Amino acid sequence: MPITTCVFDAYGTLFDVAAAARECAAEPGRAAFAAVWPKVANDWRLKQLQYSWLRAIADAHTDFWEVTQNGLDFALEASNLHNDPELRERLLALYWELSAYPEVPAMLAALKAQGLNTAILSNGSPDMLNGAVKSAGLTDALDAVLSVQDVGVFKPHKSVYDLVMQKFGCEPSQVLFVSSNCWDACAAVKQGFFTTWVNRAGEPMDRLPWTPQVTLKDLTTIPDIAKAN
């Protein structure tokens, strides 16, 4: 069956998760943070993901905003910045306004011009996702913003990916799923999606039983992949 629906992970795929820390580091009076912001950004993202996996395994679901705050608190303490509440609040505020990657608006517009459904499928809470979508000016380019909040468990639980078929009434084979997280892309292969891993950092493939069909450096050619499949 041809692709009818293109579904994207949000954080790290459409939105630059390092943008909050990078923008904060560029502000006046942030010399101490500017010296360590790449480490803080990396630790923040890693712990955010790890806490979501652990909560899924332990059946201890919570709002992704709490997980995001927990990850930041760990990251700030790891860089000895945990006694700066103003810095914490500034970073959290910027996380609601993450920048989209440069190629994203044109890529989504091309998919819509092809008559395809477009959606986000994310661990993010609805409020977080809607804030990021609005801030990036992508509201009109997306047909749906799907959140794990509807099933009460984080990715890569199967019920999360089932949300796509429930929303669009399509078969798994009609879905092009795109994620910057290799483990997420691999899990989507197991679901039966045609899957693309956006490997911006040039990382090794995760050692899992499933392998994404396509690996890219950015999202520019996603419309071509959708058209070819």
Q: Is residue 73 within 8 Å of 48, Cβ to Cβ?
A: no
Distance of CA 127 to the CA centre of its chain: 14
As given in the structure block, the two tokens for residue 136 are 């990036």
As given in the structure block, the two tokens for residue 72 are 């930041």
Task: Indicate the residue type of 120.
Answer: I
Distance of CA 138 to the CA centre of its chain: 15
Query: Can you give the length of the chain in residues?
Result: 229
| DSSP H or E stretch at residue 5 | strand 5-8
Active site residue 9: yes
Distance of CA 49 to the CA centre of its chain: 10
For the beta sheet containing 5-8, the strands, ordered from the edge strand earlier in sequence to the opposite edge, are: 144-147, 117-122, 5-8, 175-179, 194-198, 214-216
Among residues 9, 16, 43, 184, the one annotated as catalytic is: 9
Report the catalytic residues: 9
